Amino acid sequence: MTNAIESTRRHPHGSVIVTGGSRGIGAAVARLLGARGYPVVVNFVSDTAAARDVVRSIVSAGGRAIAVQGDVACEDDVLRLFAHAEREFGAPAGLVNNAGVTGGFARLEDLTHDALARVLAVNVAGTILCAREAVRRMSTRRGGAGGSIVNFSSLVARTGGADEWVHYAASKGAINSFTIGLAREVAGEGIRVNAVAPGLIDTDLHAA
């Protein structure tokens, strides 16, 4: 299901796709981008109402935004997300890989396979798949105009998450490695790749 809240004219500098943009850090990033004049594509998994609220706040402040439902762990959803964003605003100028899950609190001996698989699918595979689609559209080697990719890591990648979520910490360590490698891979193609590693933030993710 694709939920386009507002179809708008294309922006000369391209839009920014924010995964997991309906709440927490993602929503704050989406609103700031909208305030700075970027058309924003707010990706969300299931909370349509929250995504609509973010889009409406951007539009009411004079910005441009749409919401597109999709699970970044699903390749078909990622392809649809980028295709829809491109139809609405043209090739993206930026990607904020914010979508993530913790897999719940658990010591390693209590960790289930399903929880681990979901964390890796969303946090690692989802980030890589979204970055792949962004590179395909941004790379000057492929005819793009360049752009910026920001991956969300976490301070826990350094501290390790012992007794709480070593699985989540490991997934964010993977993001750090991926960011370094991709930055070097596409630096000559007009694409900047960086990672942001927040500490403890008062968001729904931690409240849950």
Q: Is 38 a catalytic residue?
A: no
If you compute the radius of gyration of the chain from its CA atoms, what whole number of angstroms results? 16
pLDDT digits over 52-76, tens only?
A: 999 999 999 999 999 999 999 999 9
Whether 205 maps to a domain, the answer reads: no
Whether 78 maps to a domain, the answer reads: yes
Q: Could you say which of 82, 152, 168, 178 is catalytic?
A: 168
Whether 204 maps to a domain, the answer reads: no
Question: Token pair 């999709």 is at which residue?
Answer: 70
- Check which CATH number belongs to the domain holding 154 and give it: 3.40.50.720
pLDDT at residue 206 is higher than 50: no
Whole-angstrom CA distances from 18 to 54, 56, 66, 94, 116 are 11, 15, 11, 9, 24
pLDDT at res. 205: 52
Whether 6 maps to a domain, the answer reads: no
Whether 8 maps to a domain, the answer reads: no
Mean pLDDT of 17-38: 97
Whether 50 maps to a domain, the answer reads: yes
Strand ranges inside the chain, DSSP E: 16-18, 40-44, 65-69, 94-97, 147-152, 191-196
Q: With contact defined as beta carbons under 8 Å apart, do 93 and 38 qualify?
A: yes
pLDDT at res. 204: 61
pLDDT digits over 91-137, tens only?
A: 999 999 999 999 998 999 999 999 999 999 999 999 999 999 999 99
Whether 208 maps to a domain, the answer reads: no
Domain limits at 186? Answer: 16-198
Whether 5 maps to a domain, the answer reads: no
Number of domains the chain contains: 1
Report the C-alpha gap between 95 and 42 in whole angstroms: 11
pLDDT at residue 9 is higher than 50: no
Q: End-to-end distance of the chain based on CA atoms, in angstroms?
A: 26
